[in-house]
A = this chain, B = another copy of it.
Amino acid sequence: MAAEAPDRDHMAALEKGLAVIACFDGRHPRRAIADVARATALSRAAARRCLLTLTRLGYTAYDGKYFSLTPRVLRLGYAWLSSTALPQLVQPFLERLSEDTHESCSASLLDGHEIVYIARSAQRRIMSVGLSVGSRLPGFCSSMGRVLLAARPEPEARALMLAGGLQPQTARTITDIDALMQILAGVRRQGHALVDQELELGLVSLAMPLLNARGEVVAAFNLSAQAQRHTAQEMERLFLPKMRQTQALLRPLIG
């Protein structure tokens, strides 16, 4: 193939191997070689080399037909979790907030156009898909995503949302980029974001930034509830005070 990006330091093999690891998920827990090759757009030979190397290192297992990840890959993800104090710091506050309100609370960071959960205290299983640390959701239609996007410069926020594709998640999902930018402006003004069934029908979610001592946005946290139990207005009335309190408690504790 022609060299489109002739960067001096490329480490193509590393990039391919990471793509191979990342192609496993809940829908594809076990994959054969050709399967992985298709999913990663690698040649079969390259996919095979990656898988054999990963197996030799213990990151994948091979039963003679299918490859699957081993818990050793947690070494990689856990390297990040243990290298940052934020998740462990926030977790007990989320649990407290969750107990007080009897709703589920989470914290997340922005990674490109998606949010990544870094801590969570679930009260009930209200979402169709189970969320946990490491889970990802589109930023443009999630409450925490909007809080985090609102904290970025406007051109960047716009670019990130457009790059993500703006796929509607429900019939109520707002996908117009200008409308979304307006919403971000509102979030910036009010200091919180309320999303009403744009991510999943029946789910309302209220999010707020996590600030450090200097007032910078370092993450977002939210509280989500069933739409039948609480209307959007009720959400703000019932939960904003406690969330502001959590925000204020954490602020001096975050470097």
Query: CB within 8 Å of B: which residues of A?
Result: 7, 9-18, 21-26, 28-29, 48-50, 52-54, 56-59, 68-85, 87-88, 109, 111-112, 116, 118, 130, 132-136
Contact = CB atoms under 8 A, between A and B. Distances in A.
Given A73-B80, A76-B77, A81-B134, 6 more contacts: A11-B50, A13-B13, A15-B57, A18-B76, A25-B79, A76-B76
Nearest to A52: B9
Copies per complex of this chain: 2
26 contacts: A9-B52, A11-B13, A11-B17, A11-B53, A13-B13, A14-B54, A15-B57, A17-B18, A18-B76, A22-B76, A22-B79, A26-B83, A26-B85, A58-B111, A58-B112, A70-B111, A73-B80, A74-B116, A78-B133, A78-B134, A78-B135, A78-B136, A81-B132, A81-B134, A82-B134, A88-B130
Contacts of A78: 74, 77, 132-136
Contact of A82 (B13, B26, B87): B26
Contacts of A81: 74, 77, 132-134
A50 B52 CA distance: 20
B83 A68 contact: yes
Contact of A9 (B10, B48, B72): B48
B84 A29 contact: yes
Contacts of A23: 79
Contacts of A111: 58, 70-72
A134 B77 contact: yes
Q: What 9 A-B pairs have minimum CB-CB distances, sorted nearest first?
A: A77-B77, A78-B134, A14-B17, A11-B53, A13-B13, A29-B83, A26-B82, A69-B80, A76-B76
Contact of A135 (B25, B52, B82, B87): B82
